[in-house]
Chain A
Amino acid sequence: MTALLRTEGIKKAYGGVRALTGATISVDEGTIAGLIGPNGSGKTTLFNVITGYQRADEGQVLFGDRVITSLAPDKVFAAGIGRTFQLTRIFPRLTVLENMLVAAQHSRRQRHTVRRRAMELLEFVGIGGHADLVAGSLSYGQRKLLELAYVLIADPQVILLDEPAGGVNPTLINHIADRIRELNSQGKTFLIVEHNMEFVMGLCSSVSVLESGSCVVSGPPEMIRTDKRVLDAYLGADFEDDETGPPGPADSPADPAAGEDPSDVVS
């Protein structure tokens, strides 16, 4: 497998706060990769750097063999990297269908072809019946689906999802996971930031763990569950010898409160 998307030693500081301290991750083509880490470990900042919303102070972002470091967001999107946001960002005063068409701008196909494709994608994510509603009237979960659908219309190679399961009900989480699997089977590559461990472990074929702005470990989910460095990252090094300690990330798949940060569960 070849790496489709790679970051190499990305550094980013806000004043004195060092959000990223040399983040190196790699996403293989055709896989679903996960990116986890405690709150404030730099996951969203890394997303922003990859997609051009923030400039890296140092380091490189590579897409295939093309360097895309600090390209403008529209150019990154045109290159084939789509993303969603942690707090969904749709266009609330446009209709659902119009939301779809904003991202279809690059397409030179006929207008009705684009519309048909937009409707297909809305049906695919399950909100086809709401096409003519103002997008601001959708529920939070429906907005997540819309955001996924309108990123898809531009047919990006890689899709970065920032907490696709955050704040939505379990039924919808399963629905979203199914859609991601189906898209992946059609060849789409995903990089997913998510706190819901069950979601990440069930979906991803490889997981990278960020801590304090750099990647401490990456590998298949089974390895991540038991890795000492991951437990340290989430629980703090003090817990390493505590055999009877509270459940760590390895146990959290069964935890009903899995949507929360495990470090919060501990405290």
Chain B
Amino acid sequence: MSRGAAIRGGLLVVLLALAIVFPLVFTNPAVTNYGVFAMIFVTAASAWNIFSGNSGYISLGNAVFYGSGAYALGLMAKGWDVQGAQVFDLLPLVGVIGAGIALIFGLIALHVRRHTFIVVTIAVFFIFQLMAANFSFTEGTSGLNSPFLTWQPVPYNQNFYFIALGFAVATIAVAALVRRSRFGLQLRAIRDDEDRARGLGVKTMRVKMSALVITGSITAMIGGVWFYYINQVQPQTGFDPLWDLQIVLMAFLGGYGSVSGPVLGALIIEPGTLWLNTQPQFSGGYLSEILLGVIFLLVVLVLPRGIIPTGGEWIKRLRTHGRPAVAAAVAPEKVGAAVLAAGRTTPLQPPAKDGGQ
């Protein structure tokens, strides 16, 4: 137990150190650009997972928060004439705006469940895209430009990398805290059987709403960072349906519901997509879109639970030489049945036996 925790803690320190050293070693802005986008997506996918991964309410509308964060930062900087690095001081305010939008989003969408919820999130998403394209204060289809930063290319990317890394680490920490808390347990109980959880005293609406507000707030802030990094936002980039699908795919590929899953998924998919999109021979990003579709199908068919949970089971099975870990807890004559059970889809199947030991 303590040894495992020590190994895991040590691994985390090493990973964090590598993440910090990365832009200092590879200073080329074309390389650090990968890092900035990877960290932005690690943050967004982890934030998605806090609400959707734990509660089972699959949101295909998180770009609502992302785009709103971008627009909010741009409008505030323009309206109040904030310049340079001071723009970053507006990010907490962007977080508050994201939380407010999540509250409205939740009041609309959280009254329905499952497939209906997904459809409602898509509908809300398109409403926001339409609003951004049609309101005059959002400058219609031409979008907003950010204030100008006088940083040189190398420190420009490095600074944005560290800001995005800070958000990523903070979001992962929040996700881990949620996962371990009673709040997280209530969310996962809602995922399994919402009515039953309610019947056991869980205030389901409040719990779901709180999680959505956390997710919305974080996503809006990282949307603001993204906007300031690329200096512009248009309705179709801030509110991009493909962005929503990418976030969900990252979480599902890595391991939906786990803390590390969305991080891993984002680190695999985002650099891959970015690399394909910047290769001249695959002009326009068509290949990456096709590949995203292929990955989506593979995940659904082969890895429905994602890399982290499935990989964990494989490792456990290797360690126990093919026997499921529960085999030790049952009577010897039952081990055969347990092994048979392990050959099926779920290896954690104890022999069917009423009444306990």
Residues in chain A within 8 A of chain B (CB atoms): 51-53, 72-74, 76-78, 83, 85, 89-94, 98, 101-103, 105-106, 125-130, 133-134, 136-142, 145, 150-151, 154, 168-169, 171-172, 175
Contact pattern, B 196-220, Cβ under 8 Å of A = 1, otherwise 0: 1111111110000000000000000
* Contact among A90, A92, A139, A150 with B353 in the assembled complex (CB-CB below 8 Å): A139
Q: Nearest chain-B residue to A125 (Cβ)?
A: B356
Contact A105 B354 (CB under 8 A): no
A53 contacts across to B, CB distance below 8 A: 195, 199
B192 within 8 A of A: yes
* Contact among B189, B203, B354 with A74 in the assembled complex (CB-CB below 8 Å): B203
* Contact among B185, B350, B354 with A101 in the assembled complex (CB-CB below 8 Å): B185
Give the CA-CA distance A255 to B198 in the complex, in Å. 39
Further contacts, 19 of them, CB under 8 A, given A102-B186, A142-B354, A172-B355:
A73-B195, A77-B200, A85-B196, A89-B193, A89-B195, A98-B185, A98-B188, A101-B185, A103-B200, A106-B201, A126-B356, A133-B326, A133-B348, A137-B349, A145-B356, A150-B200, A154-B200, A168-B354, A171-B355
B188 contacts across to A, CB distance below 8 A: 91, 93-94, 98
Question: Could you say which of B185, B195, B200, B201 has the most chain A C-beta atoms within 10 Å of its C-beta?
Answer: B200
Give the CA-CA distance A137 to B326 in the complex, in Å. 11
Contact pattern, B 317-352, Cβ under 8 Å of A = 1, otherwise 0: 000000000100100000000000000001011101
Q: Nearest chain-A residue to B192 (Cβ)?
A: A91
Nearest 6 A/B pairs, CB to CB: A141-B354, A91-B192, A126-B356, A73-B199, A103-B200, A89-B196
6 A-B contact pairs sorted by A residue (CB < 8 Å): A72-B198, A89-B193, A93-B191, A102-B197, A130-B356, A169-B355
Give the CA-CA distance A93 to B191 in the complex, in Å. 9
B329 contacts across to A, CB distance below 8 A: 129-130
B182 within 8 A of A: yes
Residues in chain B within 8 A of chain A (CB atoms): 182, 185-186, 188-189, 191-193, 195-204, 326, 329, 346, 348-350, 352-357
* Contact among A78, A130, A139 with B354 in the assembled complex (CB-CB below 8 Å): A139
Q: Nearest chain-A residue to B349 (Cβ)?
A: A137
B196 contacts across to A, CB distance below 8 A: 85, 89-91
Give the CA-CA distance A169 to B350 in the complex, in Å. 18
Question: Could you say which of B182, B198, B354, B357 has the most chain A C-beta atoms within 10 Å of its C-beta?
Answer: B354
Q: Nearest chain-B residue to A151 (Cβ)?
A: B200
* Contact among B200, B346, B357 with A105 in the assembled complex (CB-CB below 8 Å): B200
A175 contacts across to B, CB distance below 8 A: 355
Contact B182 A101 (CB under 8 A): yes
* Contact among B185, B197, B355 with A142 in the assembled complex (CB-CB below 8 Å): B355
* Contact among A103, A127, A141 with B201 in the assembled complex (CB-CB below 8 Å): A103
Closest chain-A Cβ to B332's Cβ sits at a distance in Å of 15
A138 contacts across to B, CB distance below 8 A: 350
Q: Nearest chain-B residue to A167 (Cβ)?
A: B354
Closest chain-A Cβ to B90's Cβ sits at a distance in Å of 37
Contact B356 A127 (CB under 8 A): yes
Closest chain-A Cβ to B190's Cβ sits at a distance in Å of 9
Contact A93 B200 (CB under 8 A): no
Q: Nearest chain-B residue to A175 (Cβ)?
A: B355
Give the CA-CA distance A94 to B346 in the complex, in Å. 15
Contact B356 A102 (CB under 8 A): no
Contact B346 A140 (CB under 8 A): no
B354 contacts across to A, CB distance below 8 A: 139-142, 168-169, 171-172
Give the CA-CA distance A3 to B353 in the complex, in Å. 39
Give the CA-CA distance A98 to B187 in the complex, in Å. 12
Give the CA-CA distance A136 to B341 in the complex, in Å. 14
Closest chain-A Cβ to B191's Cβ sits at a distance in Å of 7
B353 contacts across to A, CB distance below 8 A: 139
Question: Could you say which of A73, A90, A130, A136 has the most chain B C-beta atoms within 10 Å of its C-beta?
Answer: A73
Give the CA-CA distance A244 to B186 in the complex, in Å. 57
A102 contacts across to B, CB distance below 8 A: 185-186, 189, 197, 200, 202
Given A129-B356, A129-B357, A145-B356, verify A154-B199 contact (CB < 8 Å): no
B356 contacts across to A, CB distance below 8 A: 125-130, 142, 145
Given A94-B185, A94-B192, A105-B186, verify A139-B200 contact (CB < 8 Å): no
Q: Nearest chain-B residue to A78 (Cβ)?
A: B201
A130 contacts across to B, CB distance below 8 A: 329, 350, 356
Contact A73 B182 (CB under 8 A): no
Closest chain-B Cβ to A130's Cβ sits at a distance in Å of 7
